[in-house]
Amino acid sequence: MKHISLLGSTGSIGTQTLDVVESHPDSINVVALAAGSKSIKLLADQIRKFSPELVSVPGKPDIALLREALGAEHKRLEIVCGDEGLEAVATHSKVETVVTGVVGFLGLKPTAAAIRKGKRIALANKETLVAAGAAIMPMVREFNAQIVPVDSEHSAIFQSLGGRKAADYKKELAKIWLTASGGPFRTWSLEQIRNATVDDALKHPNWAMGPKITIDSSTLMNKGLEVIEARWLFDVDPASINVVIHPQSILHSAVEFVDGSIVGQMGVPDMRLPIHYALFFPDRVHSDKVPRLNLLEMHELTFEKPDITRFPCLAIAQRIAAENNTLPCVLNAANEVVVDFFLQGFVKFYDMAAQIERVLERHKPVEKPNLDDILDADQWARREAVQLLSAVRH
Ligand code: MG
């Protein structure tokens, strides 16, 4: 029996994780759940179905709402809240694997706490490594924790490397081929992209994901953040990570070895596949949830070079990827704020890159940052971004 906790249980990754868990009732036990305030009713349903021992919600009012939704049935369930609540879920003593499905910077502190307890992290929260890779990776080594990526591309790379540790493939690995679908604007002209609306950007061609990551996919910032994520996760020079547009999203990424062999991982674009792999790693277990890929029905797989003129966010992130300081954290924070302003209609689609650049330019980076430096940089960047954007908002 594997014992897991799940951060962000009502979000896109969370619900898909529980979907996988549901088909393996005898091998996976959900010990603890954490969720946001938006879907208390769904959280109550999840509690009825999976009977966790501990649940965390954002605030005290959410505890009351959840108790009300649960009724008399789960009176003895322990419900906690706030940052400490998230941490309690992430560090529960019975838990071996923590699935981090929360969106954004919120995932950093509980992930760090779980690493200090030597847990295995099924990492779906890329912001943790993007913002704090410089501080997190040394902790992973120090506390003998392990990160198994859930991000589909990184899962593909991890699988292609045989799930080995960096020291074991270091001499063999020449390059990473990081695939991107290209998002909804892949074939749009610069002029069309300038006039893209929020609805246009939210229509992802292949993947069903939450709104923040869907916008990041439409700007290709998501791919840029994934370059940074891969750099830390696989301990490689970012210059050896090649982004390639692959509109069918069938090859989820590949590695090129020093002898010229390219090994990749293919499958249908369905997040339950990397989630399933991370939950059972290092074993492979039958899945009846994930649809099968029929190669006989695959008529073409195509690859193209990304266009950084139409998608400047990718170039910004690729430039920042090599930094060993607080700039990646500032990039991540500024992007979160800018995406939020875009979703509310206060920033135009194509202006997002320039706004992120303005925040980056104002930052005085701290070299080799620790977790506190990163938390400070994050707060600074958010304040700065909100201030700059409020001034341009009309
Ligand atoms: Mg991805």
Domains of the chain (ranges, CATH numbers): 2-149 (3.40.50.720), 152-268+291-322 (no CATH), 323-394 (1.10.1740.10)
**Mean pLDDT over each residue of the chain, to the nearest integer:** 95
For 252, the 3-state DSSP assignment is strand
For 90, the 3-state DSSP assignment is helix
The residues whose Cβ lies within 5 A of ligand 1, an ion, are 151-153
Compute the radius of gyration of the chain from its Cα atoms. Answer: 20
Q: How far is the CA of 78 from the centre of ligand 1 (A)?
A: 34
pLDDT of 175 higher than 90 = yes
CA–CA separation, 253 and 179 (whole Å):
5
Q: Is 286 exposed, middle or buried (0-12, 13-18, 19+ CB in 10 A)?
A: exposed
Question: Which tokens go with 134?
Answer: 């410089």
Across 82-91, 147-156, 205-214, 216-225, least confident range: 205-214
| pLDDT at residue 73 in the model | 83
Q: How far is the CA of 213 from the centre of ligand 1 (A)?
A: 9
Q: Is 202 exposed, middle or buried (0-12, 13-18, 19+ CB in 10 A)?
A: middle
Mean pLDDT of 114-142: 95
Task: Specify whether the backbone of 189 is left (phi greater than 0), alpha (psi in -120 to 50) or beta.
Answer: beta
Tell me: the pLDDT tens digits for 269-278?
A: 999 999 999 9
| pLDDT at residue 210 in the model | 79
Q: How far is the CA of 29 from the centre of ligand 1 (A)?
A: 26
Question: Which tokens go with 143?
Answer: 């506390």
Q: Dump the DSSP string for 138-203.
A: HHHHHTT-EEEE-SHHHHHHHHHTTT--HHHHTTTEEEEEEEE---TTTT--HHHHHT--HHHHT-
| pLDDT at residue 104 in the model | 78
Task: Specify whether the backbone of 212 is left (phi greater than 0), alpha (psi in -120 to 50) or beta.
Answer: alpha
CA–CA separation, 292 and 261 (whole Å):
25
Beta strands in the chain (DSSP E): 2-7, 28-34, 54-57, 78-81, 97-100, 120-123, 146-149, 173-180, 241-245, 251-257, 262-266
Q: Are 246 and 301 in contact (CB under 8 A)?
A: yes
Q: How far is the CA of 80 from the centre of ligand 1 (A)?
A: 31
Confidence of residue 74 (pLDDT cuts 50, 70, 90): confident
In sequence order, the 6+-apart residues with CB closer than 8 A to the CB of 248 are 206, 298, 300, 301, 302
Mean pLDDT of 236-264: 97
Q: How far is the CA of 177 from the centre of ligand 1 (A)?
A: 13
Q: Are 264 and 160 in contact (CB under 8 A)?
A: yes
Confidence of residue 233 (pLDDT cuts 50, 70, 90): very high
Question: Which tokens go with 335?
Answer: 């992007």
CA–CA separation, 381 and 333 (whole Å):
6
Q: Is 86 exposed, middle or buried (0-12, 13-18, 19+ CB in 10 A)?
A: buried
Confidence of residue 394 (pLDDT cuts 50, 70, 90): low
Across 18-27, 113-122, 197-206, 225-234, least confident range: 197-206
Q: How far is the CA of 226 from the centre of ligand 1 (A)?
A: 7
Share of the chain above pLDDT 70, in %: 99
The distance of Cα 83 from the centroid of its chain, to the nearest Å, equals 19
Confidence of residue 112 (pLDDT cuts 50, 70, 90): very high
CA–CA separation, 253 and 319 (whole Å):
21
Q: How far is the CA of 72 from the centre of ligand 1 (A)?
A: 41
For 367, the 3-state DSSP assignment is strand
CA–CA separation, 382 and 238 (whole Å):
26
pLDDT of 105 higher than 90 = no
Q: How far is the CA of 390 from the centre of ligand 1 (A)?
A: 30
Q: How far is the CA of 150 from the centre of ligand 1 (A)?
A: 8
Q: Which of 231, 137, 121, 125 is nearest to 176 (CA)?
A: 231
Q: Are 95 and 3 in contact (CB under 8 A)?
A: yes
pLDDT of 392 higher than 80 = no
Tell me: the pLDDT tens digits for 10-28?
A: 999 999 999 999 999 999 9
Q: Are 234 and 166 in contact (CB under 8 A)?
A: yes
Tell me: the pLDDT tens digits for 313-333?
A: 999 999 999 999 999 999 999
Q: How far is the CA of 93 from the centre of ligand 1 (A)?
A: 30
* Residues facing residue 348 across a β-bridge: none
Tell me: the pLDDT tens digits for 280-289?
A: 999 999 998 8
CA–CA separation, 153 and 269 (whole Å):
10
Q: Are 56 and 79 in contact (CB under 8 A)?
A: yes
Strands 146-149 and 173-180: unpaired
| pLDDT at residue 393 in the model | 64
